[in-house]
Chain A
Amino acid sequence: MEQEFDAIVVGAGPAGSACAYKLANAGLQVLVIDRGKFVGAKNMWGGAFYGGDLLNLLPNFCEEAPFERYVTRQKISFLTEEDCLSVDFASPKFKEPAPHGFVMLRSKFDRWFADKAQEAGAVVAPGLGADDLLWDGSRVVGVKAGSDELPASVVVACDGANSGMAQKAGLQKELSSEDMKQGVKEVIELSEEIIEQRFGLSGKEGIAWEFVGSCTQGLPGGGFIYTNKDSLSVGIVVQLDALVKRKVQANDLLEGFKSHPEVARVIEGGKLVEYSAHLIPVSGINMMPELSRDGFLVAGDAAALVLGTGLILEGANFAVASGIAAAETVIEAKERGDFSNESLSMYRRLLEDSYVLKDLRTFRKAPHFLENPHIYNLYPELACDVARRVFIGDGQPRKTTWDNVRDSLKGRASLLQILPDLWQGKGAI
């Protein structure tokens, strides 16, 4: 490739494609490289995309995008070995005024999104991976990909959770297993009719279902089920260092999760069509690297822009929002003809002013709070035990709910154990 690009975007996940789309639309020369055989080949997630960023960026998103279903129900369940206590939230607000969430499979979606960037004028090159950065003194001036040296005014690293580029730029330190969760997932094929019948859905309605409790055997993390059109995404997310301490593999947790009566019921008769795994950076702002240097920006998971509050785990919307902010920064830098760190510091300001860094700051204590094992064993057990006492009579005179709670607590935990959790949780989630 002879041409000098204004920007090279490394990685065509949601961050990279959003950035490239925006840059190409503004008329900049942009090259996107991705190490997958095709775009999306390396990517997996839960998952659902939340919020309006894609709708704002891509006007015909609802008509054109290959999403599986809308999110029209959001469910969270607390599990013990046998029991399941759920909050099942449905609201017309999920659809109006605009759809709030989209269940998607990444291999299809990422390819489509990169095609959109290409239509807008970006050069998209799958099968090309960045091995290193090109330097002029302390300024990044391009990337090395195999035998190619690709020069550019600015490199935007959107290379995901294991970002080699942010490390090579000297911005991200070595990753630690305390800062990472591992996700493993099965895609289980089932007919559209069976899915709609089992989950009470119709048309393009879909469910995002999170689980906390016995599914991770008390380890920090959770389970999930998302309804695709004619398959289910069923998986576990678990703290990486906890697997080592407990000497268990995530797949063992996944098998246990699938055998829980409430889960077994909905996947019954399904056919496994894919098994996948990926890391998630989960320490939020506590692990976020510097976001720029001369000729270089970092976006999405590569910058650890992921929000985990225990009830939600979102990264794709943060990736898109940061990819767009990076593009806006590069567009202005190009107008000024100045790609120095100072000029690129606009990126950080844009993120500080948007939900991206505001949310990560609001929930900065959440990652530490979520390490508390009580969340994964004591509280799901308590919740299910109280429900059992309230709903299942044993022929004895009834007790008030408050007395049931007290009886449930007996032998399990004292108020002295619980109060600090409540206190910490108040400021964290």
Chain B
Amino acid sequence: MKVISVEDKLSVNKFDIDKDVHIRIAEDICQTCNHHACIYVCPASCYKLSDGGITFSYEGCLECGSCNIACDKGAIDWTLPRPGFGICYQYG
């Protein structure tokens, strides 16, 4: 069976993407992180490894809160998108 990537899955979802970024990471802390928990817990693959550091994109965020709980280094400034923006489940 064909494996579907997270990106392809997210593309069928309905989002109302805000221009405001609702999650920010302290890249310097991530550079020295020894577990990169965010990569494994994010169901939307918003966190990506690049050159030993982390890049983050907020657009596909499913607002689950996993990254904020799993990062024990205080590197994530986590909030939810403004009310009305973000993921808009049609089925749920």
Contact = CB atoms under 8 A, between A and B. Distances in A.
A127 B83 contact: yes
Size category, B interface: 35 or more
Given A42-B63, A44-B92, A129-B83, A275 B9 contact: yes
Interface in A238-272: 240-241, 243-244, 246-251, 255, 258-259, 264, 272
B45 to A, nearest CB: 7
Size category, A interface: 35 or more
Interface string B33-45: 0010101111111
A264 B62 CA distance: 26
A349 to B, nearest CB: 31
B40 to A, nearest CB: 5
A274 B43 contact: no
Interface stretch (B23-31, B51-59, B64-72): B64-72
A161 B1 CA distance: 34
A276 B40 contact: no
Nearest to A35: B83
B41 A243 contact: yes
Nearest to B44: A277
A362 to B, nearest CB: 27
Contacts of B92: 40, 43-45, 105-108, 110, 274, 276
Interface stretch (A92-100, A177-185, A307-315, A420-428): A177-185
Contacts of A38: 88
B50 interface: no
Contact of B62 (A146, A175, A177, A277): A277
A373 interface: no
B12 A273 contact: yes
A243 B91 contact: no
A123 to B, nearest CB: 16
A400 interface: no
A186 interface: yes
A35 B37 CA distance: 27
Contacts, number: 136
A279 B42 CA distance: 11
Contact of A146 (B3, B41, B83, B88): B83
A277 B64 contact: yes
A7 B63 CA distance: 27
Contact of A240 (B70, B84, B85): B70
Interface in B69-92: 69-70, 80, 82-92
A128 B9 contact: no
B69 A175 contact: yes
B12 A272 contact: yes
B70 A41 contact: no
A289 interface: no
A27 B80 CA distance: 33
A57 B32 CA distance: 54
19 contacts: A37-B16, A42-B63, A42-B87, A105-B91, A126-B84, A127-B83, A175-B65, A176-B69, A187-B91, A231-B91, A240-B41, A243-B40, A249-B40, A251-B43, A255-B4, A272-B12, A276-B91, A277-B62, A279-B69
Interface of A: 35-38, 40-45, 105-108, 110, 126-129, 145-146, 161-162, 175-177, 180, 182, 184, 186-187, 231, 240-241, 243-244, 246-251, 255, 258-259, 264, 272-279
Given A105-B91, A107-B89, A277-B44, 14 more contacts: A35-B80, A106-B91, A127-B84, A175-B65, A177-B41, A177-B70, A182-B66, A231-B91, A244-B37, A249-B43, A255-B4, A258-B1, A274-B13, A275-B6
